[in-house]
Chain A
Amino acid sequence: MSLLSPIALWFGLAIPVVVVFYLLKRKRVVRLVSSTLLWQKFLAETQASAPFQRLRHNWLLILQIILLILAVLALARPFFSGKVEATRLLVVVLDASASMQATDEKPSRFEKARAEALQMVDSLHGEEQMMVLLAGARTEVRQSPTSDKSALRRALQVCQVTDSSTRLNDALKTAAAFTFEKKTKPDTGGKQVETEETSGEIHLFSDGAAPSLDEFEHKALPLVYHRLGQRCANLGVVSLEVRANPENPAQRALFTSVRNAGSNEVPADIELRFENQLLEVKPISVPPTNTLPLVFFAAQPKDGVFTVRLTTPDDLPADNQASLVSLLPKTVKILLVSRGNRFLEKSLRGAGNVQLDVAALLADPATAYDIVVLDDVTPLVWPTVNTLAIHVHQTNWFDSVSRVEGPPIVDWRTGHPLLRFVTFDAVSVSETLGVKSPSWGQALVESPQTPLIVAGEISQHRLIWIGFDTLQSTWPLRVSFPIFIANAVEWLNPASATSAQLAVHVGDPFRQRVTQPGPAAQVTRPDGTVQTIALEPNAQEVVYGNTSQQGLYRLKAGTNDVTFCVNLMDPAETDITPRAELPMGKAGGVSATTLKRANLEMWRWIAALALLVLLFEWWFYHKRTV
């Protein structure tokens, strides 16, 4: 025999309460009377002179009968039958993002979510089905719809939390696909109309640290949000970047920032390691809800991995560390093909660590150079290296080209690394090539008619396209021009591109070009396990997708041996504040619930009511004798 709700045994505590009631002595009023003779006769007559007596109207009796009825009703375990479809589906979505590792719930938010989900499995009805989705970097269906409780428990037991950011959109989309059913019904005019009806519920176990779920704003998602987490006491590394130290070329500058999502100022220690050797420890103190930028300077003797780590323990250890593969800077070889542009030439030279050759014509693919700059010159042979193309176009870059005169600059993407510290205020352009935004890149600077600057990647080479002749604009006179050129050199530099490739976000695939990889590649994960990937015979690229864990990975494929870093560095995950509401667009939202939207058995409430009646009865009995 097992108990469906052993927690109800706590009601047993009511028994001592009743005993206490009876233990309580009545306080009697002493009164002198002439004689107790009549009273004795009265008591003798009213007490059990016969086994039965006429049933008298007595409120105490009625109350006790109500009490008994309630208790019996509770034991019968009644519940709402309601309108339950024969096969109701409960979709359990477990948020497996990094913030679910927070230990403010014991042992962790994820474990608590798992326990709650397992409780839901226990309370599953015979006709109900459940499925389990794990929302990590990718959404995985861990259990397809079934009523088999043991299968559901097994599926929940093997779920693992990841280090990735929250991506609930995919999970909810998948869940919605299962819960919405298309049905055709005749409308008021008698026409057959296809409508979507919900046939289940989505139970999301999450802390709500998710980006806005705008796309569900107008969809009445049958979502029940089970909130986890209690507080936010967490520091996290949210960015890390290595650059050349502008003041000392022998050193590298590491720019990092630490976010404190909590509401208290937190002191901590942050350490910097190179190839696992401790270089520096800094005590820091991060103000509440602030990000503290930090700079480390360190000599780098060889290519290697820089790691910053917060050593002070907090609720979420996953975001306390970030690593970066740093390659030693190399001189960038640039070929400038131009009919003469002193502004451009000077800016290129000023970019630092640059070897610049200038040519008037380009007749070969220029493979000896790292970067080719085409300045208003159409080359005879298009280069096969990273290219900055100014006022030129190739037929496979754009579909059609027109001319636009005096385009106003209305928007530019300040978030892109190319436009860092670059503004286009007071820049005017007399004429530009009019194109449509291509699929290979994104428009960085736009006018209403045409994109002016496009950056992207074509056949594995980076390309920056500027549609107008810089000499036909006021841009070279502005301070943003040399900054943009410096950014462009940095961005087009194959070494920095490689560095960028070697640092991926948790959950993103890692891609590496390889030569003669052999039949298989081995990936050593941060926890030491080795995973083998089978490769095509002529594969040129290895793609590794299982980056759910942050840390250092090592890829071996034939002679190729690459170390790459997987980092979380997500301020949204560092902010582990449990959200009371899941945002859904401007108007929508789902509040956290502690109630289960299911066939709720009522017996607990009835039992509680019975207890109240018992108390009332006791009070009433004592009141009426006064």
Chain B
Amino acid sequence: MPAPLLTPELLRRLEQFQLLAARRSKSAGKGERRSKARGQSVEFADYRNYVAGDDLRYLDWNLYGRLDRLFLKLYEEERELPVRIFLDASESMTFGTPVKFDFARQVAAALGYVALCGFDRVNVHVFPDVTADASGQLPSAELAARGALRAVRGRKSALAFFQNLSSLSAGGACALNEALRRGALEAKQTGLAVVLSDCLDPAGYEPGLNALVGRGFQISLLQILAPEELAPSTYGDLRLVDSESGAMQEVTFGRFRLNAYQKTVQNFIQRLREFCASRGIHFFMASSDASLEQLLLKQLRAAEIWG
């Protein structure tokens, strides 16, 4: 049995949170979120003129008495909030100490748990797609887990949700843009979208994020980098092999160039941050050895992802 993704203590504290949606939910499913849809609830929304065939139970008889006209009382329908989590399971996520993918799964579990506790629907997109192994077989357990994660609802499914997350494995070349674009197209209702990735895709991240923004998602992006990527400790004449593409890069690196490298990384992060800011995306950067509690209980709360 692998170690639990989240500690019971953390789970207990997460239960107090609720995801904050900036817009009213457009979801079709019943839930606890206010929506623009009219339906049955205790929250009065509006009046409208009676037309033949309306349910007489919603007529406002008091108003009829005063104005001698028939008005129908409308109530707000409470709907669920669809939460889409884009989880990067590419090969590059398997690096770092602790492993970046583990950190991403923990964050996904926390987000999912908060959503499930709030009667919201959680949809985890794991990308890239599973590829056949050497014998041509698709790993069925992995497929089953990914399938189960596509639509999770209700607090009682949290345990299965965690288990499925734990059983995921990472591998393959990152295709961030494609995954995000597909996710945007697939979504029937927009809602909350959380992207958990290292964003180290040679193709970039802009088209994918733009697609999500265009679809109307409320997006949060958490970039997870390994400590080794932020400050490499391997010096000398190196031939670096890309874990995803297998491309080689020769570089001579020493302590005297560490500052220059860190500056490059900060530039990269800064560009991403600026891109996100210009599109109303919540951006967070975390090293995989960062404190999970700090991120979940302080940073996300301060950014009003949940509250």
Number of B interface residues at 8 Å Cβ cutoff, please give it.
42
Chain B residues whose C-beta falls within 8 Å of the C-beta of A46 in the assembled complex? 257, 260, 264
Residue B53 at the chain A interface, CB threshold 8 Å: no
Hey, what's the 0/1 contact readout for A31-47 against B, CB within 8 Å counting as 1? 11111111111110110
Residue A30 at the chain B interface, CB threshold 8 Å: yes
Query: In the assembly, what is the distance between CA of A48 and CA of B256, in Å?
Result: 17
> Contact between A625 and B242 (Cβ–Cβ < 8 Å)?
no
Across the interface, B234 reaches (CB within 8 A) one of A26, A31, A34, A36, namely A31
> Contact between A33 and B95 (Cβ–Cβ < 8 Å)?
yes
Chain A residues whose C-beta falls within 8 Å of the C-beta of B240 in the assembled complex? 31-33, 36, 39
Query: In the assembly, what is the distance between CA of A35 and CA of B202, in Å?
Result: 9
Chain B residues whose C-beta falls within 8 Å of the C-beta of A624 in the assembled complex? 254, 256
> Contact between B247 and A36 (Cβ–Cβ < 8 Å)?
yes
Interface residues on A, range: 20 to 34
Chain A residues whose C-beta falls within 8 Å of the C-beta of B261 in the assembled complex? 38, 42
Residue A416 at the chain B interface, CB threshold 8 Å: no
> Contact between B200 and A34 (Cβ–Cβ < 8 Å)?
yes
Hey, what's the 0/1 contact readout for B221-265 against A, CB within 8 Å counting as 1? 000001001000011111111111101111111101100110111
| A388 nearest CB across to chain B (Å) | 101
> Contact between A37 and B236 (Cβ–Cβ < 8 Å)?
no
> Contact between B268 and A29 (Cβ–Cβ < 8 Å)?
no
Chain B residues whose C-beta falls within 8 Å of the C-beta of A30 in the assembled complex? 238-239, 241
Provided the pairs A38-B200, A38-B229, A625-B254 are in contact, do residues A29 and B243 lie with their beta carbons within 8 angstroms? Answer: no
Chain B residues whose C-beta falls within 8 Å of the C-beta of A37 in the assembled complex? 200-202
Provided the pairs A40-B249, A45-B264, A46-B257 are in contact, do residues A34 and B198 lie with their beta carbons within 8 angstroms? Answer: yes
Residue A626 at the chain B interface, CB threshold 8 Å: yes
Residue B49 at the chain A interface, CB threshold 8 Å: no
Chain A residues whose C-beta falls within 8 Å of the C-beta of B100 in the assembled complex? 34
Query: 7 smallest A-B Cβ distances: which pairs?
Result: A34-B95, A34-B92, A35-B200, A42-B264, A28-B239, A36-B249, A36-B242
Across the interface, B229 reaches (CB within 8 A) one of A27, A29, A34, A43, namely A34
| B236 nearest CB across to chain A (Å) | 5
Provided the pairs A34-B229, A38-B268 are in contact, do residues A29 and B241 lie with their beta carbons within 8 angstroms? Answer: no
Query: In the assembly, what is the distance between CA of A625 and CA of B253, in Å?
Result: 6
Residue B267 at the chain A interface, CB threshold 8 Å: yes
Across the interface, B264 reaches (CB within 8 A) one of A32, A35, A41, namely A41
Chain B residues whose C-beta falls within 8 Å of the C-beta of A31 in the assembled complex? 234, 238-241
> Contact between A39 and B267 (Cβ–Cβ < 8 Å)?
no
Hey, what's the 0/1 contact readout for A276-314 against B, CB within 8 Å counting as 1? 000000000000000000000000000000000000000
> Contact between A29 and B239 (Cβ–Cβ < 8 Å)?
yes
Across the interface, B238 reaches (CB within 8 A) one of A29, A34, A38, A40, namely A29
> Contact between A35 and B92 (Cβ–Cβ < 8 Å)?
yes
> Contact between A625 and B268 (Cβ–Cβ < 8 Å)?
no
Across the interface, B241 reaches (CB within 8 A) one of A26, A32, A40, namely A32
> Contact between B268 and A41 (Cβ–Cβ < 8 Å)?
yes
Residue B96 at the chain A interface, CB threshold 8 Å: yes
In this complex, which of A30, A39, A626 has the most chain B Cβ atoms within 10 angstroms of its Cβ? A39
> Contact between B265 and A29 (Cβ–Cβ < 8 Å)?
no
CB<8 Å pairs between A and B, sample of 18: A26-B252, A29-B238, A32-B241, A33-B242, A34-B92, A34-B94, A34-B243, A35-B242, A35-B243, A38-B261, A38-B265, A39-B249, A42-B261, A45-B264, A46-B264, A624-B256, A625-B254, A626-B254
Query: In the assembly, what is the distance between CA of A30 and CA of B226, in Å?
Result: 19
Chain A residues whose C-beta falls within 8 Å of the C-beta of B250 in the assembled complex? 28
> Contact between A29 and B249 (Cβ–Cβ < 8 Å)?
no
Across the interface, B237 reaches (CB within 8 A) one of A27, A32, A35, namely A27
> Contact between A35 and B256 (Cβ–Cβ < 8 Å)?
no
Query: In the assembly, what is the distance between CA of A37 and CA of B252, in Å?
Result: 16
Q: A26-B252, A34-B94 are in contact. List 15 more A-B contacts (CB 8 A).
A: A30-B239, A30-B241, A33-B229, A34-B93, A34-B96, A34-B200, A34-B229, A34-B244, A35-B242, A36-B247, A37-B202, A41-B268, A42-B265, A45-B264, A46-B260
Query: In the assembly, what is the distance between CA of A37 and CA of B91, in Å?
Result: 14
Provided the pairs A35-B200, A42-B264, A46-B260 are in contact, do residues A28 and B238 lie with their beta carbons within 8 angstroms? Answer: yes
Hey, what's the 0/1 contact readout for A200-212 against B, CB within 8 Å counting as 1? 0000000000000
In this complex, which of A33, A40, A625 has the most chain B Cβ atoms within 10 angstroms of its Cβ? A33
Chain B residues whose C-beta falls within 8 Å of the C-beta of A40 in the assembled complex? 249
Query: In the assembly, what is the distance between CA of A407 and CA of B34, in Å?
Result: 154
> Contact between A29 and B237 (Cβ–Cβ < 8 Å)?
yes
Chain B residues whose C-beta falls within 8 Å of the C-beta of A43 in the assembled complex? 249, 251
Query: In the assembly, what is the distance between CA of A58 and CA of B93, in Å?
Result: 37
Query: In the assembly, what is the distance between CA of A240 and CA of B244, in Å?
Result: 100
Chain A residues whose C-beta falls within 8 Å of the C-beta of B263 in the assembled complex? 45
Chain B residues whose C-beta falls within 8 Å of the C-beta of A39 in the assembled complex? 240, 249, 251
| B262 nearest CB across to chain A (Å) | 9
Q: Residue on B with the closest CB to A57?
A: B256
| A476 nearest CB across to chain B (Å) | 104
| A348 nearest CB across to chain B (Å) | 105
Query: In the assembly, what is the distance between CA of A31 and CA of B248, in Å?
Result: 10
Chain A residues whose C-beta falls within 8 Å of the C-beta of B260 in the assembled complex? 42, 45-46
| B200 nearest CB across to chain A (Å) | 4
Hey, what's the 0/1 contact readout for B91-111 against A, CB within 8 Å counting as 1? 111111000100000000000
Q: Residue on B with the closest CB to A25?
A: B237
Query: In the assembly, what is the distance between CA of A485 and CA of B234, in Å?
Result: 104
| A254 nearest CB across to chain B (Å) | 83
Chain B residues whose C-beta falls within 8 Å of the C-beta of A42 in the assembled complex? 251, 260-261, 264-265
Query: In the assembly, what is the distance between CA of A42 and CA of B244, in Å?
Result: 19
> Contact between A29 and B236 (Cβ–Cβ < 8 Å)?
yes
Query: In the assembly, what is the distance between CA of A39 and CA of B237, in Å?
Result: 13
Query: In the assembly, what is the distance between CA of A624 and CA of B251, in Å?
Result: 14
Chain B residues whose C-beta falls within 8 Å of the C-beta of A28 in the assembled complex? 236-239, 250
Query: In the assembly, what is the distance between CA of A27 and CA of B236, in Å?
Result: 10
Chain A residues whose C-beta falls within 8 Å of the C-beta of B268 in the assembled complex? 38, 41
| A255 nearest CB across to chain B (Å) | 82
| A55 nearest CB across to chain B (Å) | 14
| A579 nearest CB across to chain B (Å) | 57
Q: Residue on B with the closest CB to A624?
A: B254
Provided the pairs A38-B200, A38-B268, A40-B249 are in contact, do residues A33 and B243 lie with their beta carbons within 8 angstroms? Answer: yes
In this complex, which of B93, B251, B260, B263 has the most chain A Cβ atoms within 10 angstroms of its Cβ? B251
> Contact between B241 and A38 (Cβ–Cβ < 8 Å)?
no
Q: Residue on B with the closest CB to A45?
A: B264
Query: In the assembly, what is the distance between CA of A624 and CA of B252, in Å?
Result: 10
Chain A residues whose C-beta falls within 8 Å of the C-beta of B243 in the assembled complex? 32-35
| B174 nearest CB across to chain A (Å) | 8
Query: In the assembly, what is the distance between CA of A624 and CA of B256, in Å?
Result: 9
Query: In the assembly, what is the distance between CA of A36 and CA of B246, in Å?
Result: 9
Q: Residue on A with the closest CB to B174?
A: A35
| B238 nearest CB across to chain A (Å) | 5
Query: In the assembly, what is the distance between CA of A446 and CA of B200, in Å?
Result: 116
Chain B residues whose C-beta falls within 8 Å of the C-beta of A41 in the assembled complex? 264, 267-268
Chain A residues whose C-beta falls within 8 Å of the C-beta of B237 in the assembled complex? 26-29, 625
Query: In the assembly, what is the distance between CA of A28 and CA of B229, in Å?
Result: 20
Hey, what's the 0/1 contact readout for B31-43 against A, CB within 8 Å counting as 1? 0000000000000
